[in-house]
Amino acid sequence: AQKITQTQPGMFVQEKEAVTLDCTYDTSDPSYGLFWYKQPSSGEMIFLIYQGSYDQQNATEGRYSLNFQKARKSANLVISASQLGDSAMYFCAMREPGNQFYFGTGTSLTVIP
Amino acid sequence: DTGVSQDPRHKITKRGQNVTFRCDPISEHNRLYWYRQTLGQGPEFLTYFQNEAQLEKSRLLSDRFSAERPKGSFSTLEIQRTEQGDSAMYLCASSLAPGQGMNQPQHFGDGTRLSIL
């Protein structure tokens, strides 16, 4: 089974609007970490936000927030007030103790002026 | 510290040649990872090290691929007898081990883009 599933290959959002990028994960370990990365066309992977499995509150970092629904095993990224510079690939990733990181296949976000 | 650095940024070579890439992680990071990424896909795990020990290697990884981290600092990834299908971006990342905090993200280098002619 896939450890990380991102079902949206591509998404479009109007500038200044909010957008949600979906991510579901699969693990039987009670301790894990969830990460979102942004990869612009230039290629570098940029860390955006982290959510721990024991965290009681949803993580927020500026315009990024993570909608963490543990029972559903989902960790959706919400970008508020989209900007043209947000156009990029977005990857969800999970880390289990002692193990590697697992990445999803990504969602391509295009912000429309 | 300036982050994870990879060298070279681009490599063009003929099929059948050997290539070697270098990665210098963030100095205090004890974990180092190698990934391969093709266009439109997420990073595909290849292998990772904790200090100088190679802890895991992808089952999908051909015997033509080998990685080392001899002193627990920089790492090299070698591909022998390159094939057309090896054309990809090779990413290196480093992090602290989970025991030092599950919230430690991986920090990526800019990658080495390999093109096989």
pLDDT per residue over B17-49, tens digit each?
999 999 999 998 999 999 999 988 889 989 999
Which chain A residues are within 8 Å of B107, Cβ to Cβ? 47
Write the residue in A45, A96, A97 that is nearest to B108 by C-beta: A45
**What is the C-alpha to C-alpha distance for residues B26 and B94, in angstroms, rounded to an integer?**
7
* Average pLDDT of every residue of chain A: 94
Provide the phi-psi class of B101: left if phi over 0, else alpha when psi is between -120 and 50, else beta: left
CA distances from A10 to A19, A28, A77, B27 (A): 12, 29, 14, 36
- B106 CB neighbours in chain A (<8 A) are 35, 45, 47, 93, 101
- Asked if the C-beta of B94 comes within 8 angstroms of chain A's C-beta atoms, the answer is no
Q: Which residues of chain B have pLDDT under 50?
A: none
Residue range A82-113, pLDDT digits in tens: 999 999 999 999 988 766 789 999 999 999 99
What's the pLDDT at B100?
61
Residue showing tokens 């890439």: B21
Give the span between the Cα atoms of A24 and A67, in whole angstroms: 11
Instruction: Please list, in sequence order, all residues whose beta carbon lies within 8 angstroms of the beta carbon of residue A62, skipping any fewer than 6 positions away.
Output: none
Q: Which residues pair with B87 in a beta bridge?
A: none
Say if the Cβ atoms of A47 and B56 lie within 8 Å. Answer: no
* Subunit contact B98:A95, Cβ cutoff 8 A: yes
Of the candidates A37, A100, A104, the beta carbon closest to that of B56 is on A100
Answer whether A49 touches B (CB < 8 Å): no
- Taking phi over 0 as left and psi of -120 to 50 as alpha, with beta for the rest, B60 belongs to alpha
pLDDT digit string (tens) for A24-40? 999 999 989 999 999 99
Distance between B99 CA and the closest CA of chain A, angstroms: 8
CB atoms within 10 A of CB B14: 8
Q: What share of chain B is helix, strand, coil (3-state, %, to 5)?
A: 5, 50, 45
Residues making up chain A, counted from first to last: 113
* Nearest-angstrom CA–CA distance, B12 and B47: 23
Contacts of B67 in chain A (CB under 8 A): none
Are B105 and A45 in contact (CB < 8 Å)?
no
- Could you tell me the two tokens for A19? 């957008």
pLDDT value, residue A94? 93
Q: Please state, in angstroms and rounded to a whole number, the distance separating the CA atoms of residues B89 and B81.
A: 17
